[in-house]
Homo-oligomer: A and B are copies of this chain.
């Protein structure tokens, strides 16, 4: 049961000129499932990608990195669910490359112009033959209006498809930004996990795309956590087709660059937050703001210590204003010279702790009122400087254990 997240409405998902999407049922793991998606990108688009930092990365992630580095211009993506092609050794690399070769043949391009993505069961051989056999049907389905189909096609155990669009004025034209994502826990029982794809018809200098993808990920997917586990397959790809006719963005800190980045960050953040809202067993959506740090990095450490504490997360599930747990997490976050007497803690507008101790004016019923909400802001002041950071997470419920303790089915 996702937290305040509704299914996307196709009428509000705008096509992006230069991108077509086709989806089919390839029978990767089970029959009668949309499990194969191809994304076709017109020549001249610029593409950047950000991938898992997990050293145990999946074969398709390794191939994506190689193909982006080859610099031939990405023209297509092939995405399967049902099998993650992770923990599959050299044979996994061979199979990931094989799907790229097959799609490249259909499109008369180089295999290095194809990016592969897989999500699903870990440590099982990828049925590349079934994926390759499904390509003609996926290609026949290709249309620029298929973003919602793609959002559904990349779902594994997500309960709701995740897709968002915005339009913005950039470079003298109205440009479109549309994106989709999937993921529910950082690793589902046997699913490997987060995927995000975004496209815009704005024009961006190719040299900027990697930086743009990194900055967008930093402000969105790298600020959410369900359970602190980092998947072997996490991938986020950004495409700029340039077909809006807007003048090209040649610097991210230009007015055009800022306008585009703001629009794209809006979509990226909604996509990332949707993963938390659909988090395994989530009943609450929690924003953790940390201010008053010496650096953004130390704020982030504190925010993640809170967001990852099973004790804090179970207290949110129970609507229990057991706020010593939050203070304890602040204390072990790893700031060696933290002065506990400078710490402030707020739950929404309720000032819970001041100078590291209980606020004399704090009343338990006020904390209780906020804890019962489905959306909660936790604000910690460190009293050390001017830096801030924010992460988003969910609570930790019986349902999380049920989902993750279920024998793989």
Chain A residues at the B interface, C-beta cutoff of 8 Å: 53-57, 84, 86-89, 91-92, 121-123, 185-187, 189-190, 192, 227-232, 308-311, 314-315, 317-318, 320, 322-325, 327-332, 335-336, 338, 340-341, 343, 353, 355-358, 396-398, 400-402, 404-408
A357 with B324: in contact, given A232-B331, A405-B317 (CB under 8 Å)?
no
Residue of B89, B320, B406 near A318 (CB, 8 A) is B406
> A356 near B89 (CB under 8 angstroms)?
yes
> A358 CB to closest chain B CB, in angstroms?
5
Q: Residue on B with the closest CB to A185?
A: B311
> A344 CB to closest chain B CB, in angstroms?
13
**Count of identical protomers in the assembly:** 2
The 10 lowest CB-CB distance pairs between A and B, nearest first, are A56-B331, A122-B324, A89-B357, A318-B405, A314-B404, A54-B331, A55-B338, A230-B332, A55-B331, A314-B405
Q: Is the interface of A mostly helix, strand, loop or mixed?
A: loop
Contacts of A309 in B (CB 8 A): 227-229
A401 with B317: in contact, given A328-B192, A328-B230 (CB under 8 Å)?
yes
Residue of B54, B91, B327 near A56 (CB, 8 A) is B327
> A407 CB to closest chain B CB, in angstroms?
5
A328 with B401: in contact, given A89-B355, A320-B407, A322-B189 (CB under 8 Å)?
no
| Assembled-state Cα–Cα distance A48/B309 (Å) | 30
> A245 CB to closest chain B CB, in angstroms?
43
| Assembled-state Cα–Cα distance A187/B328 (Å) | 9
17 A-B residue pairings within 8 Å (CB atoms): A55-B331, A55-B332, A55-B336, A56-B343, A56-B356, A86-B328, A89-B357, A122-B324, A187-B311, A229-B325, A230-B328, A232-B324, A310-B404, A318-B404, A320-B406, A398-B401, A398-B405
> A328 near B54 (CB under 8 angstroms)?
yes
> B187 near A123 (CB under 8 angstroms)?
no
> A312 CB to closest chain B CB, in angstroms?
8
> B55 near A310 (CB under 8 angstroms)?
no
Q: Residue on B with the closest CB to A323?
A: B123
Contacts of A190 in B (CB 8 A): 322, 324
> B229 near A122 (CB under 8 angstroms)?
no
| Assembled-state Cα–Cα distance A122/B330 (Å) | 14
> A298 CB to closest chain B CB, in angstroms?
12
| Assembled-state Cα–Cα distance A54/B355 (Å) | 17
> A310 near B228 (CB under 8 angstroms)?
yes
> A398 near B402 (CB under 8 angstroms)?
yes
